[in-house]
Chains A and B, each alone.
Chain A
Amino acid sequence: EAQVTQNPRYLITVTGKKLTVTCSQNMNHEYMSWYRQDPGLGLRQIYYSMNVEVTDKGDVPEGYKVSRKEKRNFPLILESPSPNQTSLYFCASSKRLAVTGELFFGEGSRLTVL
C-alpha cells in the first residue's frame, strides 16, 4: 500500500531535549516536505527536499533541521525544542516536481514541548 509513515504519532517532551520525527515513503517520490499545523494558521512549510541531498527552507525553518540521505526518508530534527514548537506536524511527498503533482500526507505527529 502506498503510504507516508511518520513516527512517533504522539510525543511529549521537555524543553531542550533533542528529538527526531521520522518520515518514510514507499512511493519512490522525489519531493518530500514537512509542515506544521497550528490553529488559525493553517499549514506552514518548514523544509522541503527535491531529491537526495537537496533540501531547502520553507516559511518557518527556524529551530528545525532536516536531512535527505536516502530517497525514501526525510527526518525532521528538533535540536533544542521549545514550547513554541508544540504543534501538529505533517510529512508529505510527491512524485517528480511538486508543482505538477499532488501531495501525499502522513497521518501527523502531535508534539508537545513542556
Chain B
Amino acid sequence: SQQGEEDPQALSIQEGENATMNCSYKTSINNLQWYRQNSGRGLVHLILIRSNEREKHSGRLRVTLDTSKKSSSLLITASRAADTASYFCATANTGNQFYFGTGTSLTVIP
C-alpha cells in the first residue's frame, strides 16, 4: 500500500494550546495536502504544499514538508473547540492518484 500514516492516531488538548500532527508517506510526490473531516462528513481541504516548498502558512495553520524524510507536519495554533475533527494528509503522485493517511483524531477540550 502507498498510504501514508499520521501520528499520533489521537490527540487531546486544551483550548488555546497548539496541536501538532505528523504525516509520513512512501513515494515521490508532486504535492501534499491536508484535509479535515468532521465526524461522518465529507473531507474539507485545508492547505496544499508543493514538493519544492518547505513551509506554508494559512491563518492558524502551519505546514512543513521534508521530502528527504518523506514527512510533513500540520500545526494548528491557539486551538478552538471547533477544531475538533479528524485530520488527514494526502499525497498526489504523477499518476493522478491520491493516497490518504489513516488520520489523526483531534479533540479540543473547552
Interface residues of A (CB under 8 A from B): 4, 31, 33, 35, 40-45, 48, 50, 56, 58-59, 88, 90, 92, 97-100, 102-108, 110
> Which of B3, B33, B94 lies in contact with A102, CB distance below 8 A?
B33
Q: Which residues of B contact A4 (CB under 8 A)?
A: 42
29 pairs across A/B with beta carbons < 8 Å? Answer: A4-B42, A31-B96, A35-B100, A40-B102, A41-B102, A42-B3, A42-B88, A42-B101, A43-B43, A45-B97, A45-B99, A48-B96, A48-B97, A56-B96, A59-B2, A88-B40, A90-B42, A98-B92, A98-B98, A99-B30, A99-B92, A103-B45, A104-B45, A105-B42, A105-B44, A107-B42, A108-B40, A108-B42, A110-B40
Residues of A within 8 A of B96 (CB): 31, 48, 50, 56, 97-99
Q: How far is the CB of B106 from chain A (nearest CB, A)?
A: 15
Could you list 14 further interchain pairs (A-B, Cβ under 8 angstroms) beyond the known A43-B100, A45-B98, A105-B43?
A42-B3, A44-B3, A45-B99, A50-B96, A90-B43, A98-B92, A99-B93, A99-B96, A100-B31, A103-B43, A103-B90, A104-B45, A108-B41, A110-B40
